[in-house]
A and B are shown apart, each in its own frame.
Chain A
Amino acid sequence: MSSDHRLALDNCIKCSICVSHCPVARVTDKFAGPKQNGPDLERFRLEEPAAVHPSIGYCTNCKGCDVVCPSGVAVSAMNCRARGEYVSMHGAPLRDKILARVDRMGKAARLAPSLVNRLAGLRPLRLLAEKMLGISAAMTMPRYAQKTFLELYKPQNVGDTGRKVLYYPGCYVNYNAPEVGLALAEVLAHNNIRVEVEQFDCCGLPLIANGLLDTARDQAKKNLAKLQGYINRGYDIVTTCPSCHLTLRQEYRELFQLNTDPLHEKMLDVFEYLSVLLQQGKLVTRFEELPLQVGYHQPCHLKAAGCGVPSREILQLIPGLRVADLDAGCCGLAGTYGFKKEKYAISQAIGSNVFNAVKELGVRQVISECGMCQLQIHHLTGVAVYHPLQVLAQACGHGKWLAK
């Protein structure tokens, strides 16, 4: 055991704040909780890797434990490694191996997106998938776009501000929600900034969350090398998906001991990037009036980035727009988690707070940065859910997503 590791473990004072804020442990006793699976058992695992509790499979990897820990213990990293150890000993079910490869599913769906979307809505087929694979028949499947973001995106001719921006879209924007990437391009073009794109691997989060750490590590190394190349050439990297962002910047370091220091300075959530422009007096703040009220849901992985809500400052500049914080905690989907038959009910129980908050506030449209949160909130409430960038693009005169 290294002294660093020992220290990290000793920092846990067993205060149980992580347990009392764990959204999973709150609704079910199937998960032994972040403290027991994390720092408690980690002490044994350092000597005996087999000390993994099977309940580790019920952790959603929301990282709430990291956020609330007052002692700086990387609880979720311990849980992720524990799940990796469990899976390497016991193997992963076929279902998890399929769900963890969102990039492959996206590539396969490209052959016939309409057909895939139609099949995903066929009840008998879904029941079969539930029986054979354990994929919940009740959960709404993400819809695949007719064309990927990378196919649709055409670099625009804009004035030269000398700013170099590379966009890391992530699998969800590329295969399911290209309109978010296009909104990003419009917003930056509005500020005379041209966006570069590039073919990346999946950030690896779905693999990590399913305990398939070796494959995730390979992808991490490839992604990091590519990103480093752009940073060396003076690029800023922007993201729109909080989970990709956190994985690239934090998980690559905590789980794979890769050096992500350059990303801390050079990789920004797109709204952080726009805030920097605003502070430099370089943001074009001509916005159309949007007289509407929307609910806002903060994704867990954005919370875990510890930098607040980057869109807050910018959206406040849009005349007429009122953003009400749902303040309802985790939505419960957690990427692939809520699609699993045995976890669907847990996922819905966690999300009931979001359902109640939407009802209480009476909002008919919700915004949230995470594609999976968007899907779950729509599934729970039936309201339309958008990325904050779509609101901003609309205020810049592009797109008509939100109803006034």
Chain B
Amino acid sequence: MNKYTDVLIIGAGLSGLMAAAKAAEQGKEVMLVAKGMGAVGLSSGCIDLWGYNLEDPNQVCQDPLAEIARLCAVNPQHPYARVRDVLEESLLFFRRVCQENGNPYLDHRGGNWLLPTALGTLRPTYLAPASMAVGDLQQVRGVLVVGFRELKDFYPDVLAANLKKSGVLQADCPLNTLMVCAGGGELTPNTLAYRLENPAVVDRIVDQIKPHLLPGAVLLLPPVLGERWDSQVAKNLAEKLGHPVYEVTNIPPALPGQRLQQMLLHHVKGQGVEVVIGCTVNGARVADKRCTEVLATGAGKPIKISAKTVILATGSFLGGGLESKPGKAWESIFGLPVETGHEKWSARDFLSMAGHLFNQMGIKVNEHLRPVDKTGEVIIENVMVTGANLAGCNHPIEKCGNGVAVASGYKAGKLAGEVGE
């Protein structure tokens, strides 16, 4: 089986979906293949740009865009240095797509939001879906943390105790917890979210919450308020209670990341992109520094795909884009080089503030996102690399994973759109 397309994107994560949306918008024929669902569905659903100060990693960064500009000056190897020219444009594009699909993403006056997590810690992020965008907690006159009896992995008392300790609330701010029942059983976040799409269930929740509401209180709930990206559950709940309601971030599987993924998939399909999930690309033919076709299999059947541009959005080690054995790492489809250095790949502590070296490993690219060798020479001219595959960022501690994905995916899609006939 042979397939032909203008732009082939490998990977269904955030950078792949952004690349698909941008290339399709420019009228290109786009195909997106992925061996499974991308990791954006496992993410918090927020878009982190840059979390902490460069000089003082204990301080939350107040102006991520300015901080990234400084970062590019001190660390020109960081992926942001390759996409800085389109960074703001890419964020506008992302927000426009979200807005048009009824899933608006909000910024916090150009700074970082400080959003509560299920553990009651506060995490900085740049863009948050409306259902998660809790304003300044310093200002609130009361907090009610609501959990569901059916749901594991969310304990209101833990959230409340740590939130109190964080000192973000005013000293006299009442902080209460409540467990409500959504019909019984032991549910996954998805099953609970499905149940909450039923207005009668929401009404029963409202009845349980109302007696515990203090004037001016803000409600914090686990991220299960609605299945789809355009769900109205959080909004309806807030209206019925007459109080603001927010979802906090929680461990996967959480709905906000899934909603973002489903929305972007739905959007690109609507743009005419052919999306094939469950199709694994395992190799490629390259001649004269050009990829002539990639070799894939779907349920065992070989498929050859030829494209003018190939965008490699395969997601580092977790997504299978990079592979390794002791002392050696490489890119899995084209065999592109991955520098490993001579230091230890991981730090002794799992949660080391210095991060793990393996997270920084990846493919070196030039300003057009083309893979380059040690001397800066382009290795394959019609291949671009995006997202977690890019060398030089340590996203778990820098809080920049989704930001790099949005900007690099957008840039690759834009450049692919400019490739002539």
Chain A interfacial positions (CB closer than 8 Å to B): 13, 15-17, 19-22, 25-29, 33, 66-72, 246, 249-250, 253, 260-261, 264-265, 268, 272, 275-276, 279, 303-309, 312, 325, 327
Contact = CB atoms under 8 A, between A and B. Distances in A.
A303 B280 contact: no
A15 B41 CA distance: 10
Nearest to B300: A264
A57 B89 CA distance: 50
Nearest to A15: B42
12 contacts: A19-B188, A20-B188, A29-B187, A67-B277, A67-B278, A70-B36, A72-B36, A72-B280, A250-B299, A264-B301, A272-B1, A327-B266
Contacts of B3: 308
Nearest to B258: A20
Given A68-B37, A70-B35, A70-B36, A260 B191 contact: no
Interface string B299-310: 111110000000
B302 A20 contact: no
Interface of B is mostly: mixed
B87 to A, nearest CB: 27
Interface of B: 1-3, 31, 34-39, 41-42, 185-191, 194, 227, 252-253, 258, 266, 269, 274-280, 297-303, 318-320
Contacts, number: 119
B192 to A, nearest CB: 9
Given A68-B37, A279-B2, A33 B188 contact: yes
Contacts of A265: 301-302
A260 B300 contact: yes
Given A21-B37, A67-B36, A272-B1, A306 B188 contact: no
A276 B304 CA distance: 12
Contacts of B301: 249, 264-265, 305-307
B151 to A, nearest CB: 11
A393 B297 CA distance: 30
Contacts of B277: 67-68, 303, 306
Contacts of A268: 1
Contacts of B187: 29
Nearest to B1: A272
A279 B277 CA distance: 23
Nearest to A246: B299
Contacts of A250: 299-300
Contact of B253 (A19, A246, A249, A253): A19
A307 B303 contact: yes
Given A306-B279, A307-B279, A249 B300 contact: yes
B298 A307 contact: yes
B231 to A, nearest CB: 13
A33 B34 CA distance: 23
Contacts of A15: 42, 252
A71 B189 CA distance: 22
A28 B278 contact: no
Contacts of B269: 325, 327
Given A253-B300, A264-B300, A303-B277, A25 B190 contact: yes
Contacts of A26: 190-191, 194, 227
Given A69-B36, A306-B299, 6 more contacts: A20-B190, A27-B194, A68-B36, A71-B36, A246-B299, A304-B278
A307 B275 CA distance: 10
Given A27-B194, A312-B274, A16 B252 contact: yes
A276 B41 contact: no
A27 B269 CA distance: 25
Given A69-B36, A70-B38, A325-B269, A306 B297 contact: yes
A264 B302 CA distance: 7
Nearest to B39: A70
B404 to A, nearest CB: 19
A308 B41 contact: no
Contacts of B191: 25-29
Contacts of A246: 299
A41 to B, nearest CB: 16
B186 A249 contact: no
B298 to A, nearest CB: 2
Nearest to A264: B301
Contacts of A272: 1
A313 to B, nearest CB: 9
B24 to A, nearest CB: 14
Contact of B1 (A67, A71, A276, A303): A276
Nearest to A301: B299
A15 B252 CA distance: 7
A270 to B, nearest CB: 13
Nearest to A70: B36
Contact of B278 (A17, A25, A264, A306): A306
Most buried by A among B3, B252, B298: B298
A66 B190 contact: no
B68 to A, nearest CB: 29
A70 B320 contact: yes
Query: A-B pairs with the 10 shortest C-beta distances?
Result: A306-B298, A70-B36, A67-B278, A306-B278, A20-B253, A306-B279, A68-B37, A308-B276, A29-B185, A307-B298
